[in-house]
Structure 1
Amino acid sequence: MSEEFKMAKVYEPKDVEGKWYSFWEKNGFFHADVDESQQAFSIVMPPPNVTGALHLGHAIDATIQDILTRYKRMQGFNTLWIPGTDHAGIATQAKVEEQLAKEGMNKHELGREKFLERVWDWKEQYGGRITQQLRRLGASCDWSRERFTMDEGCSKAVREVFVDLYNKGLIYRGNYIVNWCPHCHTTISDIEVEHNDREGHLWHIKYPIKDSDEFLVVATTRPETMLGDTGVAVHPEDKRYTHLIGRTVVLPIVNREIPIFADDYVDREFGTGAVKITPSHDPNDFEMGLRHHLEQICVMDKEAQMNENAGKYQGMDRDEARKAIVKELDGLGVLVKVETLQHAVGECYRCSTVIEPMVSQQWFVKMEPLAKPAMEVVRDGRLEFVPERFSKIYLGWLENIRDWCISRQLWWGHRIPVWYCEDCGAEICVKEDPAACPKCGSVHLHQDPDVLDTWFSSGLWPFSTMGWPEQTPELKQFYPTSVLVTGRDIIFFWVARMIFTAMEFRKEVPFHKVMIHGLVLDAQGRKMSKSLGNGVDPIEVIEQYGADTLRFMLITGNTPGNDLRFHPERLEATRNFANKIWNASRFVMLNLEDYQEGLRGELELADRWILSRYEDTVASVTEALDRFDLGDAGRLLYEFIWSEFCDWYIELAKARLYDKENPAARKTVQSILLEVLEGTMRLLHPFMPFLTEEIWSNLPVKGESIMIQSWPKARGYRQEAVENQMNLIMDVIKAIRNIRAEMNVQPGKKAEILLVASEVVNREILEVGRLNIQHLAGGSSVDIAADADAKPAQAASAVVGGVEVYLPLRGLLDLDKEIARVEKEIAQAKQEQARFEGKLSNPGFLAKAPEQVVAKEREKLEAINTRISTLKVRLQELNEA
Structure 2
Amino acid sequence: MKQKEVLLEKVYNPKEFEERIYATWMDHGAFMPREGVGKPFVIVIPPPNVTGVLHMGHGLNNSLQDILIRYHRMKGEPTLWIPGTDHAGIATQSVVERKLWSQGVDPRSLGREKFVEITWQHALEHKKIIINQLKKIGASCDWSRERFTLDEGLSKAVREVFVSLYEKGLIYRGTYLVNWSPGLKTALADDEVEYREVQGRLYYILYPVADSDEKVMIATTRPETMLGDTAVAVHPGDERYRHLVGKEVIVPLVNRKVKVIADEYVDPEFGTGVVKITPAHDFNDFEIGRRHNLEFINIFNPDATLNEHVPEKYRGLSREEARARVVDDLKSLGLLVKEEPHVHQVGHCYRTHVPVEPYLSEQWFVRMDTMAQKALKAWEEGKIQFFPRKWENTYTHWLRNIRDWCISRQLWWGHRIPVWYCDDCGAQMVLREDPTACTSCGSTNIRQDEDVLDTWFSSWLWPFSTLGWPEETEDLKRFFPTTTLVTAYDIIFFWVARMIMASLEFMHEVPFRDIYITGLVRDKQGRKMSKSLGNGIDPLEIVNVYGADALRFTLAFLAAQGQDVLLDKDTFQVGAHFANKIWNASRFILMNLEGRRLIPFEKIEKTDIDRWILHRLNRAAAAVSDALETYRFNEAAQTAYEFFWSDFCDWYIESAKLSLNGDDEQEKDRIVSLLLFVLEQALKLLHPFLPFVTEELYQKLPTTEGLLILASFPEPRKEWEDPAAEASYTVLQEVVRGVRSLRSQFTIPPSVKFRVVVRCEDAGLLEYLRAHEALMKLLMNVEDLSIQQEPPLRAGAVVVVGKGFEVYSYVRDLIDVPKEIARLEKKIAKLQGVLDKVEKKLANPHFVEKAHPQVVEGERAKQRDLAEQIAKLREYEALLKG
Per the TM superposition, whether the score is higher than 0.5 is yes
Cα distance between partner residues in 2 of 1:838 and 1:564: 25
2:678 paired residue number? 676
1:121 deviation in Å? 2.6
1:249 deviation in Å? 3.0
2:540 paired residue number? 539
CA contact (8 A) 2:175 2:363 kept: yes
Q: Deviations over 1:12-48 (max 9, x none)?
A: 1211111111111122111237x59763221111111
2:302 paired residue number? 302
Q: Deviations over 1:498-531 (max 9, x none)?
A: 1111111111111122221122122222222222
1:52 deviation in Å? 2.6
CA contact (8 A) 1:837 1:861 kept: no
Cα distance between partner residues in 1 of 2:845 and 2:189: 48
Cα distance between partner residues in 1 of 2:287 and 2:411: 27
Change (3 A) 1:749 1:238: farther
1:493 deviation in Å? 0.7
Change (3 A) 1:81 1:755: same
1:75 aligns with 2:92: no
Change (3 A) 1:235 1:758: farther
1:702 deviation in Å? 3.0
Change (3 A) 1:247 1:728: farther
**Structure 1 stretch 617-626 or stretch 91-100: which is displaced more?**
91-100
2:854 paired residue number? none
1:704 aligns with 2:709: no
1:735 deviation in Å? 0.9
Change (3 A) 1:858 1:678: closer
Gapped runs of 5+ residues in structure 1? Answer: none
Q: Deviations over 1:194-220 (max 9, x none)?
A: 223333222222233444444433222
Cα distance between partner residues in 2 of 1:453 and 1:782: 76
Cα distance between partner residues in 1 of 2:129 and 2:774: 58
Cα distance between partner residues in 1 of 2:259 and 2:337: 21
The one-letter amino acid paired with 1:761 is G
User: What SS is found at the alignment partner of 1:633?
Assistant: helix
1:840 deviation in Å? 12
Q: How does 1:332-411 map to 2 (within 5 A)?
A: 332-411=333-412
CA contact (8 A) 2:416 2:449 kept: yes
1:91 paired residue number? 91
CA contact (8 A) 1:836 1:860 kept: no
CA contact (8 A) 1:588 1:674 kept: yes
Cα distance between partner residues in 1 of 2:869 and 2:242: 68
Change (3 A) 1:828 1:166: closer
User: Which residue, 750, 757, 760 being the options, matches 1:757?
Assistant: 760
Cα distance between partner residues in 2 of 1:112 and 1:838: 63
Change (3 A) 1:381 1:198: same
Q: Deviations over 1:542-578 (max 9, x none)?
A: 1111111111111222322332222333212221111
Cα distance between partner residues in 2 of 1:18 and 1:622: 28
CA contact (8 A) 1:483 1:513 kept: yes
Change (3 A) 1:472 1:823: closer
Cα distance between partner residues in 1 of 2:633 and 2:864: 34
The one-letter amino acid paired with 1:649 is Y
The one-letter amino acid paired with 1:161 is V
Cα distance between partner residues in 2 of 1:29 and 1:530: 37
Q: Deviations over 1:315-354 (max 9, x none)?
A: 1111110110011111122222222233332222222222
The one-letter amino acid paired with 2:194 is E
Cα distance between partner residues in 1 of 2:245 and 2:201: 27
Cα distance between partner residues in 2 of 1:370 and 1:834: 60
User: What SS is found at the alignment partner of 1:124?
Assistant: helix
1:420 paired residue number? 421
The one-letter amino acid paired with 2:764 is V
Cα distance between partner residues in 1 of 2:161 and 2:494: 18
1:714 paired residue number? 716
1:769 paired residue number? 772
1:184 paired residue number? 184
Question: Percent identity of the aligned residues?
Answer: 47
User: Which residue, 858, 878, 881 being the options, matches 1:873?
Assistant: 878
User: Which residue, 729, 736, 749 being the options, matches 1:726?
Assistant: 729
2:627 paired residue number? 624
Change (3 A) 1:6 1:262: farther
Q: TM (normalized to structure 1)?
A: 0.93
User: What SS is found at the alignment partner of 1:580?
Assistant: helix
2:216 paired residue number? 216
Change (3 A) 1:827 1:105: closer
What value does the CA root-mean-square deviation take over the aligned residues? 2.9
CA contact (8 A) 1:50 1:128 kept: no
Change (3 A) 1:429 1:840: closer
CA contact (8 A) 2:599 2:669 kept: no
1:590 paired residue number? 591
CA contact (8 A) 2:7 2:590 kept: no
1:236 deviation in Å? 4.7
The one-letter amino acid paired with 2:626 is E
CA contact (8 A) 2:4 2:701 kept: no
User: What SS is found at the alignment partner of 2:799?
Assistant: strand
CA contact (8 A) 1:421 1:444 kept: yes
Change (3 A) 1:739 1:329: same
**Structure 1 stretch 228-237 or stretch 748-757: which is displaced more?**
228-237
Q: Deviations over 1:340-374 (max 9, x none)?
A: 23333222222222211101100000111221111
Q: How does 1:177-256 map to 2 (within 5 A)?
A: 177-236=177-236, 240-241=240-241, 244-256=244-256
1:452 deviation in Å? 0.5
2:513 paired residue number? 512
CA contact (8 A) 2:687 2:694 kept: yes
CA contact (8 A) 1:116 1:411 kept: yes
Change (3 A) 1:387 1:864: closer
1:152 paired residue number? 152
Q: TM (normalized to structure 2)?
A: 0.93
Cα distance between partner residues in 2 of 1:292 and 1:162: 34
Change (3 A) 1:110 1:828: closer
1:610 aligns with 2:613: yes
2:29 paired residue number? 28
1:316 paired residue number? 317
User: What SS is found at the alignment partner of 1:178?
Assistant: strand
Cα distance between partner residues in 1 of 2:118 and 2:865: 65
Change (3 A) 1:97 1:612: same
**Structure 1 stretch 376-385 or stretch 522-531: which is displaced more?**
522-531
The one-letter amino acid paired with 2:592 is N
Cα distance between partner residues in 2 of 1:362 and 1:838: 59
1:391 deviation in Å? 2.1
User: What SS is found at the alignment partner of 1:734?
Assistant: helix
1:88 deviation in Å? 1.1
1:820 aligns with 2:822: no
Cα distance between partner residues in 1 of 2:834 and 2:673: 58
2:480 paired residue number? 479
CA contact (8 A) 1:484 1:515 kept: yes
The one-letter amino acid paired with 1:185 is K
CA contact (8 A) 2:228 2:278 kept: yes
1:595 deviation in Å? 4.2
Cα distance between partner residues in 2 of 1:502 and 1:180: 29
**Structure 1 stretch 120-129 or stretch 725-734: which is displaced more?**
120-129
1:241 deviation in Å? 4.6
Q: Deviations over 1:205-258 (max 9, x none)?
A: 223344444443322221111111223344455555555544443222222233
What is the number of equivalent residue pairs in this alignment?
A: 866
CA contact (8 A) 1:36 1:477 kept: no
1:406 deviation in Å? 0.4
User: Which residue, 784, 789, 795 being the options, matches 2:787?
Assistant: 784
User: What SS is found at the alignment partner of 1:259?
Assistant: strand
2:530 paired residue number? 529
CA contact (8 A) 1:601 1:665 kept: no
Change (3 A) 1:242 1:691: farther
**Structure 1 stretch 396-405 or stretch 332-341: which is displaced more?**
332-341
Cα distance between partner residues in 1 of 2:192 and 2:727: 57
